[in-house]
């Protein structure tokens, strides 16, 4: 199994604008869901998604990143749409 720093690095490599555009990334393994919990935070707004262990491992091994890519892209787009008045 990969560690959270490796998963985080893969996400940052895939989405280099995370962090640069004020979006903070956090990755932790959630034992209750047996999945990686990925959280994005922008100011006081926070969104999260879960990545299946097998999908994350497949991506980390360079085979395919469909699950990771789709979920993180959707999460990033959703937090990026937050409007400030």
* pLDDT value of residue 28: 95
For the chain, the domain total comes to 1
SS3 69: helix
Per the domain annotation, does 85 fall within a domain?
no
Whether residue 6 has pLDDT greater than 80: yes
Give the C-alpha separation, 71 to 84, whole Å: 24
- Judged by average pLDDT, the poorest of 40-44, 50-54, 80-84 is 80-84
State which residues form the domain around 72. 4-80
pTM of the model: 0.75
Q: Got the DSSP string for 24-55?
A: EEEEEEETTTTEEEEEEEETTEEEEEEEEHHH
């Amino acid at each position: 199994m990969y560690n959270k720093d490796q998963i985080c690095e893969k996400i940052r490599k895939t989405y280099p604008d995370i962090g640069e555009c004020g979006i903070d990334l956090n990755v932790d393994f959630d034992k209750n869901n047996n999945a990686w919990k990925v959280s994005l935070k922008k100011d006081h707004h926070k969104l999260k998604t879960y990545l299946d262990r097998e999908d994350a491992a497949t991506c980390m091994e360079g085979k395919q990143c469909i699950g990771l890519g789709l979920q993180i892209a959707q999460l990033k787009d959703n937090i990026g749409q937050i409007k400030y008045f």
